[in-house]
Amino acid sequence: SDRSLLILPGDGIGPEVMDEVQRVIAWFGDKRGLGFAVSEDLVGGAAYDAHGTPLTDATMARAQEVDAVLLGAVGGPKYDALDFSVKPERGLLRLRKEMDLFANLRPAQCFDALADFSSLKREVVAGLDIMIVRELTSGVYFGEPRGVFEEGGQRVGLNTQRYTEAEIARVARAAFELARRRGNRVCSMEKANVMESGVLWREVVTEVHAADYADVELSHMYADAGAMQLTRWPKQFDVIVTDNLFGDLLSDLAAMLTGSLGMLPSASLGAPMANGRPKALYEPVHGSAPDIAGQGKANPCACILSFAMALRYSFDAGEEATRLEQAVERVLAKGIRTGDLLNVEGATPATTREMGDAVIAELEAS
Ligand code: NAI
Ligand code: MG
């Protein structure tokens, strides 16, 4: 197969939800002729237990070679006391950094069947489908100088928000390209009213738009106003592009418009490789959920939907991605749900495996 996939199940519920994804992947190979060369490896605490490091050099090298990496989740109480240098999340951070995954795609999609799980009114969220593109490798989380130091007899905490025009331009391009495949609208969010980096952000996004993406509708919004608009009427947006810090906040906010953590996929994309496919890491937004790990309670949908994103963005199989998303949607509409999606007294939750079974049954019927 010319489609290679590295699967890193990780810790906690990671391996449980990934088992269901593996079955979905196999289904696409068997029934749709979409074969994948799948390899599997360790990351996070599982890699630390086996090798004393949360990501070996060999795994890192493999991640650089494949078309896409699919990761479950890392971390858990067992590893909380470890030195920072070998903490499970360091494995994930190393992947993101060395693959230079600068565009973090966080869809906020609300399946009709789950609209009652939102903290907002049903009509505000039902059918919502927006995409937040967060710059992931620069900005205030990485800028130098930084530190906590003494100054004038007191402590000062310092971080630096710094963006180069190349960093802004590449994430803007990613957002415009995405918009062309969706609703053709981009809203760029910053605080150009009070931040120099915001002034440059707005300038560069405007320039990239004028030069190459004039067919896409572009608007600008201050990020704080954007937060208000996201909760007031989120359906006004299609693609939102924003920096690392604002993207962190706005994507978490948007995620909760849609209900459960167990439903949220994500993708992190980098520059195109020799074969034209972008460097890519797909993962659910949720963590390793130690409170339910090993009990068959985890919702595999976030991880399954992350694979759907891989189909669309790494393997040019948008129709198959939609087929998978619709299968998930029909499962939910039938009321087959893990505990995180049940608010009915006395209802029996489906197990992780039963959810996987139901998704595959819907794929079969599609
Ligand atoms: P979490 O996302 O693991 O869990 C938060 C809550 O949501 C828990 O009650 C959990 O049971 C529930 N939940 C999460 N995913 C679910 C699913 N698929 N189905 C049903 N319920 C689900 O976040 P938490 O508890 O803050 O972190 C637990 C561990 O995960 C920590 O070690 C943390 O560092 C790590 N973590 C890892 C991430 C990653 O690998 N990308 C992201 C976030 C946290
Ligand atoms: Mg966050």
Residues 266 and 316 in one domain: yes
Give me the sign of the Cα torsion angle 184, 185, 190, 194.
positive
Taking the CA of 11 as reference, the closest ligand is 1
Tens-place pLDDT, residues 46-76: 999 999 999 999 999 999 999 999 999 999 9
Tokens of 226: 């954007």
- What is the predicted pLDDT for the residue at 258? 81
In this structure, what token pair is assigned to residue 252?
């978490």
Q: Are residues 143 and 224 in the same domain?
A: yes
Q: Pick the last residue of a domain from 214, 236, 257.
A: 257
185 and 273 housed in the same domain: no
Round the average pLDDT of the chain to a whole number and report it. Answer: 95
Domain end: 240, 257, 274, which one? 257
Evaluate if residue 115 carries a pLDDT over 90. no
Model confidence at 113: pLDDT above 90: no
Closest CA to 134 of 234, 225, 246: 246
Among residues 203, 222, 257, which one ends one of the domains?
257
State pTM to two decimals.
0.95
Q: In terms of Cα–Cα distance, which of 50, 55, 60, 41 is closest to 86?
A: 55
288 lines ligand 1 (CB under 6 A): yes
- 291 in ligand 1 pocket by Cβ < 6 Å? yes
**Does residue 346 register a pLDDT over 80?**
no
Nearest ligand 1 atom, CA 301: 18
- Whose structure tokens read 């920096």? 243
* Span 190-220, pLDDT tens digits: 999 999 999 999 999 999 999 999 999 999 9
| pLDDT tens digits, one per residue of 157-192 | 999 999 999 999 999 999 999 999 999 999 999 999
In the set 100, 129, 141, 357, the catalytic residue is 141
User: Which residue CA neighbors atom 13 of ligand 1 most closely?
Assistant: 289
Q: Is 337 in the pocket of ligand 1 (CB under 6 A)?
A: no
Q: Which ligand is nearest to the CA of 91?
A: 1
Q: List the alpha helices (DSSP H) in the chain.
A: 14-32, 45-51, 57-65, 88-98, 122-125, 165-180, 196-212, 223-232, 244-257, 301-313, 318-333, 352-365
Sequence-ordered list of residues with C-beta below 8 angstroms from that of 57, at least 6 positions apart, any chain:
none
CA nearest neighbour of 138 among 61, 246, 213: 246
Reply yes or no on whether 224 is catalytic.
Answer: yes
Domain shared by 241 and 284, yes or no:
no
ipTM above 0.85, yes or no: yes
Same domain, residue pair 161 and 82: no
Q: How confident is the model at residue 146 (pLDDT cuts 50, 70, 90)?
A: very high
Distance CA 338, CA 69 (A): 26
pLDDT of 208 reads 98
In contact, 44 and 56? CB cutoff 8 Å = no
Q: Number of structural domains, the chain?
A: 2
Domain carrying residue 10: 1-111+260-366
In a domain, 282, yes or no: yes
For the record, the structure tokens of 156 come out as: 């000062």
Residue 24 lies in a domain: yes
Is residue 58 within 8 A of residue 47, CB to CB? The reply is no
Considering the candidates 41, 191, 213, 313, report the single residue annotated as catalytic. Answer: 191
Q: Is 19 a catalytic residue?
A: no
Q: Is the CB of 261 under 6 A from ligand 1?
A: yes
